Every structure is written in C-alpha cells, then in structure tokens.
C-alpha cells in the first residue's frame, strides 16, 4: 500500500507543474505583458473595436513611442535653436521650459488611446509655455499632431474646440495679459501675427479633416474589397455545388437504373446484366473523373483544369448514357461554336433536363432542339418566342407572374438589339411519375442560376398537350463581352 501511494505520489508530481506554470502565467497576465500596455480592452470612437486592432495586441492600440520620441526630440532641439534667434526678446530657456516642452511631447504617447485628453492637454501646456514668456518655436507642432490624431479618430468637435481655445488663449496673452506676464517690458503683438496664428490653426484643422476623409475612404475600400472577396467565394461555392450536383445527379441516376436492370436480368439474361454492369462501370468512372476535376480546383485555385470542360460537343455521349438508362433521345439542330461559359452552361442544362426525365417522368422518349439565333434573325424569331411563351404561360409555371414579365421584357430588349442567342428546348411526353415532376427543385434552381449568370432565362413546366418542357435562352454576345 505504501509503495502504491509512493508511486501515485511520484506520478502526481509532474501533473502539478503545469498548474503552477498556469498560475504564474495568470499573474503575468494580470500584471500586463509590458508597462506600455493599458488596462483592459480599448473601445475608441468611430466604431473602433478590439477586433479591429492588431491580432497580437488586444489590450488597445499600439503605443506610438517611435513617433512620439521623434517629435519630442525635434521640439527640444528646435526650441533651443529658436531661443538663440529670439535672444533678448523672450525669456531664456531654463529647466521649467524644458519640462514643459518634454511634457507636451510625451503627452502624444497617449494620443491613440485618449485623443481628446491629449489635444486638450497639449494646448494647455503650450499656452502655459507661451504665458511664461519662453521663445516661440516648434512647440506648436505637438498641438498639430494631437489635433490630427483626434480628428482622424472621430473627435472632430473636441479638436476644433482645442484649436479655437489655442488661438483665443494666444490672443488673450498677447493683447491683454502681456502687461503682467514675462518678459518685462513686452508690448502687444501685431494683428498680423494673430492672423498668422489663426491661419495656422485653420490649416492644421483642414489637413486633419483631409486625413480623416482619406482614412474613411481607405476603410470603405478595404470593406468593399473584403465584401467582393466574400461574394466571389460565395459564387465559387455555388458554382462548385452546381457542378457536383449536375455530375452526381446524372451519373447516379444512370447507375441506379442500370443497377435495377442488372438485378432484374441477372438470372434470366446474364449477358444483358453484364452490359448493365459495364455501363455502371463506365458511368461511375466518368463521374469520378469529373468530381476529381472539380476538387482539383479547390486544392489549386487558379490552376488550369487537367481536362477540358464539357460542352455541347459531348452531346452524343450524353445521348448514349441516356439510352443506357432506357431513355431514347433525339437531337434536332446543329451544335454551333460557343464561348466556353455558354457551352458548359448549355451542356449542364441539357444534362439536368434529361436526368429529370429519367428520374421523374414515365416517358421513355425525349426531344432536344438546338437553335442558334443569329443577329439578323432576332427580329423574326421574337414573334415566335412570344407565341411559344404565351402558350407556355397558360400552364402551371414554377416561376411567378412577375418573373415571367421580367423574362419577356428582357428577351424583347435583346431581340430589339439583335443579339445572338442560343435556344435549347427539351421536351418529354410524360406523364410524371411522382409529386416531384420535372425535378426536385435543386436541379431547376441550378439551371436558372447557370442561365442567370449569362443573363439568360430558363422556363420549365408542364406542356399544354402533356409532358414537360424546359426552355432555355442564353445570350451569346453578353458572354463574349465578359
């Protein structure tokens, strides 16, 4: 028992060390990592938050000790040189003048944390320095720096008030109180000097306001850039989701049908079952390749795809896959040369429409009509488009009346401009095999998103004579311009 307690104590020893280290770390944290840090988190004006600060400094904004040291040294040295030029006119510098100059400079160390107090304090110190008769010089620079810091952080009225107080105090010192203040025998200052001081104060405020405006513009630009980056990321996620949905929905639908055929014919017709399994193998291999291509874009953004994007040139292979799933597809029209974006969108729309026929329709026949409307034919085709749309709108559409009105107006404007368009019409004879006729909603939403990205339209719904129709109109000139 004693040995067990001894071993237990030996094991407990090392576990106490981290706790002791944690307590020491807590004491260091309470003391603060540096004498330059202020207590607690800082919440400044103008919407500043702790999250806006440097990630490595959550206790407040950084202390501007470098710039403060530079300004303080410049004020001390510059005032010494200024005193030589005003010898006999102002009181000679002494220890009190040095202390006032040092105080006006060191106050700037708190200008990021307490800008109002700093600008008021520097004005008070400078007025005391001038009231004691010490030489004019770069001491006014500390007021300018404090005013700029207060304005750019949103304390505009406090900065304006401080600058007005500086001018009023100087006016009071040089025109009323000079009789009782050093140096002895001093006379009132000229009004030209007061105009110079007033102009200097206005210039400081104006430059501070300019800095504030520029800072706000930079902040807006950064926010807009961040918003644009988020929007591009969202669009990329939607694009990848559409690609994965189109690839997987079509391939899995074919695999599902072929798997059912293989199971049904496994005993009665092994050769046909073998054909179904071969189709499953080929379809799954193709789907894996397309999924791998989509995932490669995530691993290496901006890298060129290893394989070309699918387009209407792959329509014969799509027809063969549909035939393997038991759907006979007839294609009417010639495939034109299309821009890459329009070509991919057209292929995915046809693929999704045929997938919906396989999954949701009792028909074993589908018809794909491709028509490339050139600019010179746009005016003639407009009337036929309106007639087809009028017939189509007599049925129960998934889109609202407002959306259909916008689509008609958009197509009419394009037709008047004479833009080239690609028209795709996919029909089946029906009937629907379930409540989700025409698709579950995700596929139709993806088709609409693809068309909208090209400034095109998609209409999908039951036909008046039975069956289901998907009508896509994709402008080509808009894609080329992009």
pLDDT digits (tens, 9 = 90+) for 85-126: 888 788 888 999 999 999 999 999 999 999 999 999 999 999
Q: Which of 379, 374, 357, 378 is nearest to 366 (CA)?
A: 357
**482: helix, coil or strand?**
coil
**Mean pLDDT to the nearest integer, 251-270:** 81
> For residue 471, what is the DSSP state?
E
* Percentage with pLDDT > 90 across the chain: 30
- When pLDDT is cut at 50, 70 and 90, the band that residue 288 belongs to is confident
**Mean pLDDT to the nearest integer, 451-455:** 87
Pair of tokens at residue 224: 């807009």
> For residue 361, what is the DSSP state?
B
Alpha-carbon distances of 362 from 124, 255, 366, rounded to whole Å: 89, 18, 11
pLDDT digits (tens, 9 = 90+) for 372-387: 877 545 445 555 555 5
In this predicted structure, what is the pLDDT of residue 14?
Answer: 43
Pair of tokens at residue 459: 């209409």
Structure-token match 């329009």, residue found: 342
State yes or no: pLDDT of 47 exceeds 70: no
List the single range of 212-226, 257-271, 301-315, 439-453 with lowest mean pLDDT.
301-315
**Mean pLDDT to the nearest integer, 283-302:** 72
Task: Give residues with Cβ within 8 angstroms of 282, minimum separation 6.
Answer: none
- When pLDDT is cut at 50, 70 and 90, the band that residue 472 belongs to is very high
- Please state whether the predicted TM-score (pTM) of the whole model is above 0.85: no
State yes or no: pLDDT of 449 exceeds 60: yes
Highest mean pLDDT among 41-55, 93-107, 259-273, 412-426: 93-107
- When pLDDT is cut at 50, 70 and 90, the band that residue 9 belongs to is very low
- When pLDDT is cut at 50, 70 and 90, the band that residue 177 belongs to is confident
Highest mean pLDDT among 38-52, 155-169, 301-315, 439-453: 155-169
| Strand-pair partners of 171 | none
Q: Which of 348, 350, 468 is nearest to 398 (CA)?
A: 468
Alpha-carbon distances of 372 from 317, 427, 472, rounded to whole Å: 21, 18, 12
Where b means 16+ CB within 10 Å and e means fewer, 77-95 reads: eebeebbeeeeeebbebee
CB 358 within 8 A of CB 253: yes
Q: Which residue has the higher pLDDT, 293 or 262?
A: 262
State yes or no: pLDDT of 479 exceeds 50: no
pLDDT digits (tens, 9 = 90+) for 50-67: 334 444 444 567 899 999
> Cα(22)–Cα(25) distance, rounded to whole angstroms?
5
Pair of tokens at residue 98: 């040095």
In this predicted structure, what is the pLDDT of residue 298?
Answer: 67
State yes or no: pLDDT of 10 exceeds 80: no
In this predicted structure, what is the pLDDT of residue 303?
Answer: 56
Structure-token match 């040294």, residue found: 73
> Cα(355)–Cα(122) distance, rounded to whole angstroms?
76
> Cα(395)–Cα(360) distance, rounded to whole angstroms?
19
In this predicted structure, what is the pLDDT of residue 368?
Answer: 94
Cβ–Cβ contacts within 10 Å for residue 118, how many?
25
**Mean pLDDT to the nearest integer, 341-348:** 88
State yes or no: pLDDT of 410 exceeds 70: no
- Rounded to the nearest integer, the mean pLDDT of the chain is 76
> Cα(103)–Cα(423) distance, rounded to whole angstroms?
78
pLDDT digits (tens, 9 = 90+) for 227-244: 999 998 888 788 777 777
Q: Which residue has the higher pLDDT, 396 or 377?
A: 377
| Strand-pair partners of 179 | none
**Mean pLDDT to the nearest integer, 61-89:** 90
> Cα(326)–Cα(320) distance, rounded to whole angstroms?
10
State yes or no: pLDDT of 427 exceeds 70: yes
Q: Which residue has the higher pLDDT, 31 or 151?
A: 151
Q: Which residue has the higher pLDDT, 340 or 126?
A: 126
State yes or no: pLDDT of 417 exceeds 50: no
* Percentage with pLDDT > 70 across the chain: 72
Rounded to 5°, angle at Cα 137 from 136 and 143: 100
In this predicted structure, what is the pLDDT of residue 431?
Answer: 75
State yes or no: pLDDT of 20 exceeds 50: no
State yes or no: pLDDT of 269 exceeds 50: yes
In this predicted structure, what is the pLDDT of residue 119?
Answer: 96
> Cα(109)–Cα(359) distance, rounded to whole angstroms?
72
């Amino acid at each position: 028992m004693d040995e067990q307690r001894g071993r237990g104590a030996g094991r407990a020893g090392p576990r106490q060390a981290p706790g002791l280290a944690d307590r020491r770390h807590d004491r260091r944290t309470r003391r603060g990592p540096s004498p330059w840090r202020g207590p607690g988190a800082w919440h400044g004006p103008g919407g500043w938050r702790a999250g806006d600060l440097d990630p490595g400094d959550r206790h407040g904004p950084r202390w501007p000790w470098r710039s403060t040291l530079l300004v303080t040294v410049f004020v001390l040295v510059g005032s010494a040189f200024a005193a030589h030029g005003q010898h006999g006119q102002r009181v000679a510098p002494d220890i009190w003048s040095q202390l006032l100059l040092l105080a006006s400079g060191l106050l700037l160390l708190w200008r990021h944390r307490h800008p109002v107090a700093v600008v008021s304090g520097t004005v008070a110190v400078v007025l005391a320095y001038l009231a004691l008769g010490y030489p004019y010089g770069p001491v006014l620079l500390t007021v300018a720096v404090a005013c700029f810091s207060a304005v750019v952080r949103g304390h505009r009225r406090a900065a304006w008030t401080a600058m007005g107080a500086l001018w009023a105090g100087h006016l009071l010192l040089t025109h009323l109180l000079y009789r009782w203040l050093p140096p002895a025998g001093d006379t009132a200052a000229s009004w030209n000097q007061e105009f110079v001081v007033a102009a200097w104060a206005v210039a400081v405020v104006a430059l501070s306001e300019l800095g504030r405006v520029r800072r706000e513009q930079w902040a807006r630009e950064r926010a807009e850039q961040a918003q644009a980056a988020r929007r591009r990321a969202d669009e990329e996620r939607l694009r990848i989701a559409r690609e994965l949905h189109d690839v997987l929905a079509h391939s899995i639908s074919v695999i599902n049908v072929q798997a059912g055929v293989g199971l049904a014919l496994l005993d009665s017709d092994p050769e046909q079952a073998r054909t179904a399994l071969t189709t499953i193998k080929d379809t799954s291999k193709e789907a894996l390749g397309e999924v791998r291509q989509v995932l490669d874009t995530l691993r290496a953004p901006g890298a060129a795809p290893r394989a070309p994007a699918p387009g209407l040139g792959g329509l014969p292979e799509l027809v063969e896959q549909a035939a393997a799933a038991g759907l006979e597809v007839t294609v009417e029209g010639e495939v034109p040369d299309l821009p890459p974006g329009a070509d991919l969108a057209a292929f995915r729309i046809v693929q999704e429409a045929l997938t919906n026929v396989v999954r949701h329709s009792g028909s074993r026949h589908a018809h794909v009509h491709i028509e490339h409307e050139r600019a010179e034919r746009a005016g003639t085709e407009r009337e036929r488009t309106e007639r087809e749309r009028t017939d189509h709108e007599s049925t129960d559409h998934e889109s609202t009346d407002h959306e259909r009105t916008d689509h008609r107006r958009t197509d009419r404007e394009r037709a008047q401009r004479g833009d080239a368009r690609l028209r795709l019409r996919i029909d089946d004879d029906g009937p629907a095999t379930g409540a989700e006729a025409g698709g579950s909603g995700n596929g139709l939403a993806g088709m609409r998103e693809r068309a909208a990205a090209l400034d095109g339209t998609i209409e999908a719904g039951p036909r008046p004579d039975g069956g289901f129709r998907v009508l896509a109109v994709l402008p080509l000139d808009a894609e080329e311009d992009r």
